[in-house]
Amino acid sequence: MNAHRDSKIASPQPEVLVAEGLQKSYGARHALQGLTFTLKAGRILGFLGPNGAGKTTSIRILTTMMEPESGHFTVDGISSDHPEQIRRRIGVLPENLGFPRQMTGIEYLTYFGQLYGRSPANAREFALALLEDVGMQQRGKSLIGSYSHGMKQRIGIARALINDPVVVFLDEPTLGLDPRGQQELLELIQRIARERGTGVILCSHLLSEIENICDDVVILSSGQIVARGTVAEVVDRVQRNIVLGNALRIQVPTDFVAKATQALKAAIPNVTKVTPIGEMEGWLRVELIESANGNSEKSHLINNTILGALIRAKIPILSFEVEGGRLQDVFLHLTEEAIQ
């Protein structure tokens, strides 16, 4: 996945969204303090931040629903001074999108197609094609009121694509979906970016999905960008600056949790604490003493020792990772201050 991302960085993709120094305040509170980033065609940018970090304000500004106090942005080369023209080039799936319950999927998409200047026949034809793209062709003639949440999200994405946009904003598209629904929707989003060459901005609290499908990431905290780049770059950059190597995460079968805890505490002198992780079944967090910090060679040896101890105790190891190597860790580290 990283190799794929790196190869894409080198390709000459045009910048479809350029934001420079966007600022916005609500009274004395600075919601956005100089937001600057770019998005290239065909790439998916994960937009992250804790609640109140300025994500919604950013999206509202970039989708012309709100004006910034200063700074400007361009979409497909069109300046933010021309909001109507920008709206022709963007597609948006807002977080809490409401739907008219008494319209069918086809009617809904045809109506919006016409609002974007298509003739009735052309809008209907395009609506049918989009319904097929999002896997909703069988339910196009049903009332939207009868759709499940996942179906509504798909129709919402189809609506966001009705004008063949160059940039699509998706705000929490998988919220409330079951795991299968989430997976299918993420695959759809990837297809939109890859096959249509559309730049996608994906806001989500599910860091694993950002990590899996996004090429680039922007992390916001208190209205400021605290990290920006490809997912790999951000993880690597932050990993160097945060205290690493003093915690591991190991997953074992749930029946072996107690035995594993006992084996680790008894066999490894560097282990200070072994605790189950929240509600994640079979996961253990293993904290190590500080001596290994900054010395990767020693860290790796300790990892080997830990694994060896578990193997000798005949405990099956389902998963093993160093804490700090995931986007989730980076996010928590970078936004910790703002949350506190």
Interface ranges with another protein (CB under 8 A) = 60, 63-66, 84-85, 87-88, 90, 92, 94, 96-100, 102, 104, 111-112, 114-122, 125-126, 129, 138-139, 141-143, 146-148, 151, 159, 163-164
CB nearer another protein, residue 80 or residue 335: 80
Distance, CA of 42 to chain centre: 15
**Residues 5, 230 contacting (CB under 8 angstroms):** yes
Q: Closer to another protein by CB, 100 or 269: give it.
A: 100
Q: Tell me the three state secondary structure of residue 325.
A: coil
Q: Which is nearer to another protein, 95 or 337 (CB)?
A: 95
Min dist. Cβ of residue 156 to another protein (A): 9
Give the count of beta carbons closer than 10 Å to the beta carbon of residue 246: 20
**97 or 242, CB closer to another protein?**
97
In the complex, the smallest distance separating the C-beta of residue 89 from another protein, rounded to whole angstroms, is 9
Q: How far is the CB of 177 from another protein (least distance, A)?
A: 13
Q: Is 267 in contact with 311 (CB distance < 8 Å)? A: no
Bridge-based pairing of strands 199-203 and 167-171 is: parallel
Q: Closer to another protein at the Cβ: 83 or 253?
A: 83
Take residue 138 and report the two structure tokens written for it.
């069988």
Q: Least distance to another protein from the beta carbon of 318, Å?
A: 36
- Give yes or no for a contact between 170 and 201, defined as CB atoms under 8 angstroms apart: yes
Closer residue to another protein, CB minimum distance, 198 or 335: 198
Measured at the CA of 186, the angle between CA 184 and CA 188, to 5 degrees, comes to 70
The secondary structure of residue 103, as a DSSP letter, is S
SS3 state at 119: coil
Laid out side by side, the sheet with 15-26 consists of 29-40, 15-26, 70-75, 78-79
CB of residue 34 to another protein, shortest distance in Å: 23
CB of 57 to another protein, least distance (A): 12
